């Protein structure tokens, strides 16, 4: 989008106004925060005595509301969409401002490709990423902080290699899926069985449909899906592995894997191929899985 300098000034003013309004709504004292302008973003450091729950609870939804109010009265080139990173740690103040490993970590989270992709593919205005520490120590302990709406993703930016937790507060997904669900295609690209010279075409599968539960039942019978270690290797073979939510319960994890696969074009095909990489073509459970699709000769 081609923006003029006046457009950018309006965007900048709107960003500050929205963030300040959201802080006030969440009970976070904006006037007591150390604030540093970072071009098209804001670094806000909050006094240690302010409860971290204020950031996990009210702030995301308050910021969505403030952004919505701004966007309603501005043209497309002056509408705002934001990424927000949540982290905590020790900070050192000096004559030049502030420095801290925690600040660097928060900036790396903000630049994480999965977060950028999540916002790009969302119809909403805000994408939030919490650090592993912030999610584990703050968010996951309270239902009011919507822990089930966060999705764990890999973060590899410069020297930082870790995980973060993404949420799209105004996306409306029950599971807070970072990449918005797509309509399940009626037919996916075929996977060729190495020794059978056949093609496997995934049938229509929709979440919670009879076909979905049948697929889950069969997946659970496959040796590499029954074994947690081998199942994790199957997941790692998927291009969207970081989007799959882990569950300690095997069936819940298998369901999570299949649901995520359905969100991506040819995701189920990738899953079948990953399983085939682990299983012998003579595997009876694998053949049962393949029988769910339409097999035709080449």
- Read off the pLDDT of each residue in 81-88 and give the average, rounded to a whole number: 95
Question: Which of 143, 167, 191 is the C-terminal boundary of a domain?
Answer: 167
Q: Output the pLDDT for position 293.
A: 67
Residue 154 and residue 22 share a domain:
yes
Question: Would 249 be classed as within a structural domain?
Answer: yes
Split at pLDDT 50, 70, 90, the class of 20 is very high
Residue 251 and residue 117 share a domain:
no
- Read off the pLDDT of each residue in 41-49 and give the average, rounded to a whole number: 90
Nearest by Cα to 236 from 270, 191, 199, 263: 270
Q: Output the pLDDT for position 203.
A: 63
> Is residue 40 over pLDDT 90?
no
Q: What pTM did the predictor assign?
A: 0.59
Three-class DSSP labels, 146-166: CHHHCEEEEEEECCEEEEEEE
Residue 11 and residue 97 share a domain:
yes
Distance CA 224, CA 182 (A): 27
What is the token pair recorded at 199?
């093609």
- Which of residues 240 and 44 earns the better pLDDT score? 44
Question: Would 14 be classed as within a structural domain?
Answer: yes
Residue 254 and residue 122 share a domain:
no
Question: Would 189 be classed as within a structural domain?
Answer: no
- Read off the pLDDT of each residue in 110-130 and give the average, rounded to a whole number: 92
> Is residue 288 over pLDDT 60?
yes
> Is residue 104 over pLDDT 80?
yes
Specify whether the CB–CB gap between 116 and 206 falls below 8 A.
no
Q: Output the pLDDT for position 189.
A: 39
Q: Output the pLDDT for position 202.
A: 59
Split at pLDDT 50, 70, 90, the class of 186 is very low
Place of tokens 């900048």: 12
Distance CA 22, CA 29 (A): 10
Residue 286 and residue 146 share a domain:
no
Residue 159 and residue 21 share a domain:
yes
Residue range of the domain that includes 268: 210-295
Q: Output the pLDDT for position 97.
A: 85
- Read off the pLDDT of each residue in 278-284 and give the average, rounded to a whole number: 85
> Is residue 172 over pLDDT 60?
no
Residue 147 and residue 16 share a domain:
yes
- Which of residues 255 and 282 earns the better pLDDT score? 255
Chain centroid to Cα 71, Å, comes to 24
Task: Report the sign of the C-alpha dihedral through residues 222, 225, 229, 234, in that order.
Answer: positive
Question: Which of 110, 138, 167 is the C-terminal boundary of a domain?
Answer: 167
Alpha carbon distances (Å) from 113 to 28, 86, 149? 29, 16, 19
Split at pLDDT 50, 70, 90, the class of 190 is very low
Question: Would 183 be classed as within a structural domain?
Answer: no
Specify whether the CB–CB gap between 71 and 79 falls below 8 A.
yes
> Is residue 200 over pLDDT 60?
no
> Is residue 176 over pLDDT 90?
no
CATH number of the domain encompassing residue 119: 3.30.70.1230
Report the percentage of the chain scoring pLDDT > 90.
43
Residue 214 and residue 283 share a domain:
yes
Residue 214 and residue 161 share a domain:
no
Nearest by Cα to 219 from 298, 283, 132, 147: 283
Task: Report the sign of the C-alpha dihedral through residues 111, 113, 119, 120, in that order.
Answer: positive
- Read off the pLDDT of each residue in 240-251 and give the average, rounded to a whole number: 83
Distance CA 186, CA 203 (A): 7
Question: Would 24 be classed as within a structural domain?
Answer: yes
- Which of residues 277 and 174 earns the better pLDDT score? 277
> Is residue 169 over pLDDT 50?
yes
Question: Would 21 be classed as within a structural domain?
Answer: yes
Question: Would 27 be classed as within a structural domain?
Answer: yes
Residue 149 and residue 14 share a domain:
yes
Residue 126 and residue 28 share a domain:
yes
Residue 233 and residue 147 share a domain:
no
> Is residue 167 over pLDDT 80?
yes
Distance CA 222, CA 26 (A): 48
How high does pLDDT run on average in the chain?
A: 83
> Is residue 182 over pLDDT 80?
no
What domain count does the chain have? 2
């Amino acid at each position: 989008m081609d923006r003029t300098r006046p457009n950018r000034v309006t965007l900048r003013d709107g960003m500050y106004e929205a963030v300040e309004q959201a802080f006030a709504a969440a009970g976070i004292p904006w006037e007591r925060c150390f604030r540093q302008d970072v071009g098209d973003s804001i670094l806000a450091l909050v006094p240690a005595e302010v409860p971290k729950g204020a950031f996990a609870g009210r702030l995301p939804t308050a910021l969505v509301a403030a952004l919505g109010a701004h966007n309603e009265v501005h043209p497309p080139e002056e509408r705002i969409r934001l990424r927000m990173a949540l982290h905590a740690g020790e900070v050192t103040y000096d004559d030049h401002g502030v420095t801290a490993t925690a600040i660097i970590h928060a900036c790396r989270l903000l630049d994480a490709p999965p977060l950028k992709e999540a916002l790009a593919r969302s119809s909403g205005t805000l994408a939030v990423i919490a650090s592993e520490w912030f999610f584990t120590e703050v968010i996951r302990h309270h239902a009011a902080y919507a822990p089930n709406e966060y999705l764990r993703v890999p973060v590899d930016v410069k020297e930082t290699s870790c995980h973060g937790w993404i949420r799209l507060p105004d996306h409306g997904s029950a599971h807070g899926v970072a990449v918005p669900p797509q309509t399940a295609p009626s037919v996916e690209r075929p996977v060729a069985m190495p020794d059978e010279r056949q093609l496997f075409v995934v049938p229509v599968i929709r979440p919670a449909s009879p076909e979905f539960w049948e697929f889950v039942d069969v997946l659970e019978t496959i040796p590499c899906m029954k074994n947690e270690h081998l199942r994790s290797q199957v997941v790692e073979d998927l291009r969207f592995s970081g989007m799959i939510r882990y569950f300690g319960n095997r069936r819940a994890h298998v369901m999570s894997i299949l649901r995520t696969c359905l969100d991506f074009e040819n995701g189920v095909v990738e899953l079948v191929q990953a399983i085939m990489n682990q299983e012998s073509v003579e595997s009876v459970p694998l053949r049962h899985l393949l029988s769910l699709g339409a097999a035709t000769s080449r």
